[in-house]
Every structure is written in C-alpha cells, then in structure tokens.
Chain A
Amino acid sequence: MSILWSILMILGLAFAIFEGKPDRLLKAIMDSGKETLEYLFTLVGIMAFWSGIYGIIEKTGSLNLLTKNIARPLFKRVFRQPLHGQQEKAVFASIAANLLGLGNAATVWGLRAMQELKKEDRLTPNIATFLILLSSGLTIFPSAVINLRAAMGSKKAAIIWLPALIVSIVCTLAALAFDKVWGEKE
C-alpha cells in the first residue's frame, strides 16, 4: 500500500512539474487538508457514538449468544486460526454492521475488531482474512446507492438490489478463495 501511495505522489508531482503547474502541490495540500477536517468533523460524533454503544454491548453479554450460535461455525471455516472470545465478538459485530448497511458503525466496530485481532506489529493471517472479508463489499441492502438512484429520478431505484447482492456474494466467495490460496504461501 505504501508503494501505491508513492506511485500516485510521484506521478502527480512529475506531471505537475512537466505541465508547468507546480502550484498544484500547494493546492492539493490545502484542499485535502480542508477535506480531511470536514470528513473528520462529520465522523467524530459517529465514531464516538457507535464506539460508545459497543462499549455497552460488550458488557451486556448479549453478543455471546449470537456469536456462539451464528458466528462461530462460520468463522471456523473462514479464518485460518481460531478467534478468541473478544476477537470473535468484535469481528462478528463489525461484519453484522456491514451486512445491515450500518456503514458508519461498521467502520467504528471494524477498527475495534482490528485492535482485538492485533497481537504484534505484523500482519497475521486472521487480520488479512478479516480485511479481505470487509473489502469484498457484502451488504444485504445497499441503501446509499438506492437512495441516490431514487433521488436522481429512477423509476425502479431498487432494481439493482438483487444483482448487487449476487455480485457481492460472488466477490466475497472469490475473495475468500484467493485468501486461502495466497495467504497459505506466506
């Protein structure tokens, strides 16, 4: 990922120089600084709130039952190393939030799950599988896109629901298969 960022920066800067527009760097810094702050402002309440709610959920023990019955059998097949109690719960909460389309809660709980999964300063097989699972885009109801389509005057805004579900299931299965094959080698 660090290579990707470096390539983007090198290309962006080289073109700014060759096109004779070096001021583009300053503009990019200023604009994206502003953009970042705006983004963080909208996110701070959401992060604090959903992370706080997770703080309560964790203590109530209501996740225990759900994790034991739904998540454990599935996780056994998907993850290469067994997940401990806290990890299992955090990963389950994050994936459930993703499936339900709670985009913001999903991010917060996902970061929470990362903290539970992290043992040392390197990428463990379980972290890789977790990130790959999140990145495959599995959602039951993609409300953001469907709402946008409706707002743009679509007659059948929700018509993409089933195709999107099929595509995301195919992607998730493929991603897990790739992870099994390539993750094993390292």
Chain B
Amino acid sequence: MSQFIPAIIVLLTILAGLKAKINIYENFLKGAQAGILALWKIAPTVFGIFMALSLIRSSLFWEYIIDKITLLLKPVGISKELVPLILIRPFSGSASLAVLTKLMSQFGPDSLLGLTASTFMASTETVFYVVMTYLASVQIKRSRHIFSVVVLTQLIALFSSTFLWLLLT
C-alpha cells in the first residue's frame, strides 16, 4: 500500500495545478532548480561525514570504542552486536542499513537481537547527518542544545526498544 503514496501525491498535485490554472511545468522547473542547488550546498557536508566515518571505521580505535561501550551497556542488557549499529546510525542511513543486514543475516531477523535492532533502526533517524546537512544548507555553524537533545533521544530509542522486546519475548 505504502508504495502507492508517492504516485498518488504527484497525481493529485498535478490535478490541483490544473484546477488552480497555474503554469505547472514552469513551477516544476523552478522548484527543481532549487532542489539541485540545495543538493549542491549539502554535497561538501556529505563528503566530510563519509570521510571521517571511513577513517574511524578502518582504525583500531573502532574496535577499542566498541569494546568500551559494550562494557558500559552490557549491565543494562544491550549486547555487543548492537554497538556498531548504535554508533553508525546517527551518521549514515546506507551504512547503518548495511550493518543491520549483516546483523540479521548472522542472528536471524526474528531473533531477539534482530527484533531489537530493527526496532531501533526503524524508530531513529540519521541525526548527526540531518543536523549537519540541514544547518550547512543555510550556513548556520553553531548547533547549541540540538546535539545533546538528539544524542539523548537516540539513547532513549535504544533503551526502550531493548526493554520492549525483553518484555514481549
């Protein structure tokens, strides 16, 4: 069902345009130009995030920090396998989807780990990516309290998905 939504929205938009008697194509092109300009503006930010992530993930520090965080989270019932997903999720949607795929192929999508990981993934956003690119697109440099709020939100998502599935299974 949900895969019909985009086509329906576009169809309704064009019909609404006909009804409002506006120049549909011209407005489409104007909007499209704004979209391509916006993409141009976020391109350096995307590159910056990908590069930093690539450097970190290929280093020994990555293993080290995963071990350290596991020590911290183990007592509250969060296993080591979830940690890479937790760390990558805020930065990149495609990279975290790849980590989730690997995790599910190892433990099965319907295992406790698979269910917890999919729920965490489905209820969170690529928060650092969103905040960095959106702010860069309008040349704002300081993010003030946003950083702490999104980190806390991510942690709440992690703990509530973990506990919800511990209760349910």
Q: What residues make up the interface of A, taking CB atoms closer than 8 Å to B?
A: 1-2, 4-5, 8-9, 11-13, 15-16, 19, 24-25, 27-29, 31-33, 35-36, 39-40, 43-44, 47-62, 100-102, 105, 108, 110-112, 114-115, 117-118, 121-123, 127-128, 131-132, 134-137, 139, 141-146, 148-149, 152-157, 159-160, 163-168, 170-171, 174-175, 178-179, 182-183, 185-186
Contact = CB atoms under 8 A, between A and B. Distances in A.
In the A-B complex, the 5 residue pairs with the smallest Cβ-Cβ separation, listed nearest first, are A55-B31, A51-B35, A12-B55, A142-B122, A32-B50
Given A19-B59, A47-B36, A56-B24, A1 B143 contact: yes
Contacts of B130: 110, 131, 134-135
A186 B39 contact: no
Contact of B137 (A33, A114, A137): A114
A111 B55 contact: no
Interface of B: 2-3, 5-6, 9-10, 12-14, 16-17, 19-20, 22, 24, 27-36, 38-39, 42-43, 46-56, 58-61, 94, 97, 100-101, 104-105, 109-110, 114-115, 118-125, 127-128, 130-135, 137-150, 152-153, 156-157, 160-161, 164-165, 168
Contacts, number: 303
Contact of B149 (A55, A127, A145, A179): A179
Contacts of B137: 111, 114-115
Contact of B27 (A9, A56, A156): A56
Contact of A135 (B12, B100, B150): B150
A141 B168 CA distance: 20
B157 A47 contact: no
Given A12-B59, A59-B27, A118-B138, 8 more contacts: A1-B135, A12-B52, A33-B51, A56-B17, A56-B22, A149-B114, A167-B120, A168-B157
B30 A55 contact: yes
B34 A112 contact: yes
Contact of B35 (A39, A52, A134, A159): A52
Contacts of A166: 160, 164
